[in-house]
Structure 1
Amino acid sequence: MGQFDGKVVYITGIARGQGRNHAVRFAREGAAIVGLDIAGPIIDHATYPPATADDLEETIRLVEGVGGKILARQGDTRDLAFQQQLVADAVEQFGRLDHVVANAGVLTWGKVWELTEEQFTDVVDINLVGAWKTLKATVPAMLDAGNGGSITIISSVAGLKAMPMQASYTASKHGLVGLTQTAAKELGHYRIRVNSVHPYAVDTPMGVADTEAHRLFEKPWVTPHFVSMLDYHPVASCDEISDAVLYLSSDSAKGITGAEFQIDMGHSKV
């Protein structure tokens, strides 16, 4: 028996990294998975490798390998009609929608006045507007089901503390906090809880394989802004983030909504 037996979980950005890990972990606990990922280049100013269609197929294989059911498609969170159709097909196939994890996101680097227009608008459109479109597509199905449930929005430590060289990322992740808080207030009386999760560095391609990040961290004026309290544990595993996501989605967190759940090695407090 799993703690999410019979539940259906919608996850964005499932091709690899945190999204894939959330999908596999929920599936192990009995949930059916609905997911999407663009699974290809999404911004030409990224300095880390993009997910691929093969990555998405591997996620499907891993979910099915632990006995899970999955409906996964290649698509963009910025495409509202695509998300709405995926939700409709999921409800037809699985009969309900219980939990949402708005996980998809991108990162770019540059000083406020040196970022290109694309570097700013692309990141805000994907990270913030894409998350809003995820909620717009999924919340009506949750309300129709009338089962309550939860929404977990993956923000960042940059949603709590401004980060240099990350103006568009910081703005988008701060915006997600506002989106979370508003949704929590609007959905509480429907028994739907909404929380944000705030990781620091995570062991994913975006977290550890970003060539521009490694270059910038060598600059003396940048380094102090990226220190944490736990210097012996500089990078979180995907399981650490999934632990939080599954907890916030579970009945153990039935009294938690509007929370900013930090897994940041104390970085936001430095």
Structure 2
Amino acid sequence: MNGPEGLATRFEAHRDHLRGVAYRMLGSLDDAEDAVQAAWLRVDRAGVDGVENLAGWLTTVVARVCLDMLRIRRTRGEESLTSIPEAVLERPGGIEPEQEAVLAESVGRALLVVLDRLTPAERVAFVLHDLFAVPFAEIAPVVGRTTVASKKLASRARERVRGPVTPDEAERAEDYGVVDAFLSAARGGDLDTLLRVLAPDVVRVADRFAVPDGVTRDVRGARAVAEETRIFAHRARVGEPALVDGRPGIVIAPNGRLFAALRLTIEAGRITRIEVIADPARLAELPLAVTGI
């Protein structure tokens, strides 16, 4: 299929894939759409003569656009996409546009949060290789590095995304089961399950950014914490398990934009302490990672 119309048709056949690549690199649906459109303009000017693997080639074109956008974002010192004001989180009628919510759910809100902490080159190398299986030989010219250096970029990113490997993986898996049960019960307002996963003397502490005015910063006792958790069920619906400071915890991340992190202490299969962190300065320094990537 030749000519401008034929090229446009072939490009459109790959648009969904390209949008998915760009979304993982940029963490914003609007930015992803802009990146795909910018890629089309480049392709339209250059043509595809001699291109054997069109899907792979278009993926690298979009990746170059995304890398430029990430670098511009960093140079301008723009506010991280992984921060979101409480007013947006609390607004009636939902907190996420439907299409972006579906994308964030499919990619993983916690992963989007962690990806945003990588350098532009690390993020592009990791997304291309680990999420889309692009060979390093094709990644190298995108990031302007050698193949060996591109491997190192992806490896460094992988370590940051996955967090430290610890010898107590079995214990960590058990703790994740507790986190999953807590999060599921919080989303559904299941008081009985909340009381089962919370220790009788559980303590919930929060910084001043985490709770609205008039809400106490410290809550003690399983029933009191469970009742409060039900009140904030809308937050739980955009929460995901993550490694928070090296231990299974929760990130609250509408659209993949970090609002708060819950650092949990779990003992004997029950949560004994919940620390809610929403101070932007503390969140920026808080080690976060995801598993299963």
TM-score with structure 2 setting the length: 0.25
* Larger helix fraction of residues: 2
Q: TM-score with structure 1 length normalisation?
A: 0.26
